[in-house]
Amino acid sequence: MKNILDELAIKYNTDKSSKSHNYTKIYDKYLNSIREQKLNILEIGVLNGSSLNMWSEYFPNSQIYGLDINPDCKKYEKDNIKVIIGSQDDEEFLQKNIKPIKFDLIIDDGSHLSRHQIKSFINLFESLNSDSYYIIEDTCCSYWSSHEGGFKKENTAIEYFKDKVDDVNFFGFKGDLYDRKREYITSLKKDLTFFEKNINSIHFYNSVIIIEKV
C-alpha cells in the first residue's frame, strides 16, 4: 500500500523515512486517516526544517508548530508552519508558551535526553486533545551512555514509560457496563493521577513510543 508520508519524508530528506529510521511506516498506521483534518501539530526539534516541511505537506489543512532552542530556526516559518524558540527543558517556558495551545499531535524529536523527554511529556501531555497522540522518537538513546542512558537504567524515558503501563492496565475491563475507558474512569475514586485518568494506551516500537490520550 502506498505510504504518502514516507514519500514526503524521502522528498524532504528527513531521517524518519524508510531510508533511515523508518518511522513513517509506524506513523502511517496512526495518521493516514486524519491527514485531511484541521489539526494543531507540534514537533519538538526543528534542526534544518525538513520534518516541518514534511508535516506541512502531509497535513495540508493543519497548523504546524516547531519548537527549537536555535533562533536561526525561525527562518523555516512559512505558510502553515510557525517556529517557537525555546527549550523543551524549560518548564516555565513550556507552561507559558506551549501548554496553552491545544494539540492533536505532538512529536518529540528534540535532544533525545531522557530527562528532557520526560519533562516535556509531563508538561505537555495535558495540552493534547482527546483521542490524540504523543510520540517520542529515538528512545534507543535511553540505552546510550552518550545520552545519560544505560540498559535498564533508572530515570530513562524507557523505564519511565514502562511504569506508565500500570496506569493503562490496572483498571481492568468492564465490558458490557462501559464502552470506553473515559466512561469507566469517571466511576472510580477521585484521587487518580492525571496520567492514570488520561493515558488510553502506550505503544512501544523500535526507538519510538506512542502514547494515546483518552
- φ and ψ of 142, to 5 deg: -60, -20
Q: How far apart, in whole angstroms, are the C-alpha atoms of residue 59 and residue 69?
A: 24
Q: Is 116 a catalytic residue?
A: no
Q: How far apart, in whole angstroms, are the C-alpha atoms of residue 19 and residue 13?
A: 9
Q: How far apart, in whole angstroms, are the C-alpha atoms of residue 154 and residue 27?
A: 28
Q: How far apart, in whole angstroms, are the C-alpha atoms of residue 44 and residue 68?
A: 6
Q: How far apart, in whole angstroms, are the C-alpha atoms of residue 81 and residue 122?
A: 25
Burial readout 116-130 (b: 16 or more C-beta within 10 A, e: otherwise): bbbbbbebbbebbee
Among candidate residues 21, 112, 116, 147, the one labeled active-site is 112
Q: What is the DSSP code (8-state) at residue 46? A: -
Q: What is the DSSP code (8-state) at residue 35? A: T
Could you give the residue numbers annotated as active site? Answer: 112
